[in-house]
Amino acid sequence: MQVNGQLHPKLKRVSLVCTLILIMAFSGAVEAAKEVKISGGAINFHIKTKPSPDEQYIYTTDVLTLEWKDKADRENIYFEATELFDGEAMLPPESIEAATSYSGYQRLDTPILFLKADENKEVEVSFRLSSEAWSKAGNFHGSLIATDQKGNAIAGIGPINIHAHVHKYTCLDVDAGEDGMIVVDADRGPGMYEAERKIGLTVTTNTQPWILAISSEYLRLSSESDSSPIPPENIWVRLDGSGEEANMAEGLVLSGPAGKVTRHELAVKVKTELEHISGIYKGKLKLTLSE
């Protein structure tokens, strides 16, 4: 209550107590931050292409160094990672690992000891990211949080940023021999013939589900001749492991998820008619990959 411009004595006491509590809380947080020197800044990972099959981890040159300041009140300092997000996409904390002066690489989904209370020298911490993170393209952001052994946050030590930039990657590999041609030896007159070899397809993408449209061009006699070419309506493709065949006049559409390597094998069959001269016919499938 204010009387003639003066605060009531009880209100003065309440205001004074609140001010003292705020000053004490703020000073404690600042003091805790001053006790440990942490150098190195944010931890950054860059995945520019799909890791090789034997590459289990992506390493970063970014490191953290920690050391106690003189006359600090000490306790063991642990850190654990948060989830890394890019919109709705997420990299889990167990995909990030740290190697400290006290252990090899350990997952950061639980508190990991970075600095012991009785440590008298500077320690360095290195980081790596599971190569499985490649399966989701995006710019992911998260943090390292200082905790005690039980995972309780330590006041005064701010979060350390973690960034993972996973570049978009889409690739279609085709195994169809040296010249990439379908080869059919139609040596017995009109009838059904299988291509000499199957065609292998491998689709790899980390962006979004994909669609692969398959059609065929005309197959033509390899020798100089006036023989009619074999049209798409006389060409069929069978997906390996499936009894169903797709006529190339209509084409074949395959699809698959992002973040996985998908392999298919195609068998090609053709039908020759009376107008087709016996011999070796060659041509190509048309493959169109979209997302």
| pLDDT beyond 70 at 291 | yes
Q: Are 285 and 210 in contact (CB under 8 A)?
A: no
Instruction: Say if residue 202 is in the same domain as residue 157.
Output: no
Domain that holds residue 248: 170-290
pTM of the model: 0.76
| Structure-model confidence comparison of residues 220 and 178, the more confident one | 220
Q: Domain boundary at 166, 198, 219, which?
A: 166
| pLDDT beyond 80 at 178 | no
The pLDDT score that the predictor gives to residue 243 is 78
The pLDDT score that the predictor gives to residue 19 is 35
Bridge partner list, 85: 90, 141
pLDDT in tens, 59-88: 999 999 999 988 778 899 999 999 999 998
- How many residues would you count in the chain? 291
pLDDT in tens, 124-156: 999 999 999 999 999 999 999 999 999 999 988
Confidence of residue 29 (pLDDT cuts 50, 70, 90): very low
Taking Cα atoms as reference points, which of 267, 214, 270 lies closest to residue 241? 267
Average pLDDT, the chain: 87
Give the CATH number of the domain where residue 52 resides.
2.60.40.10
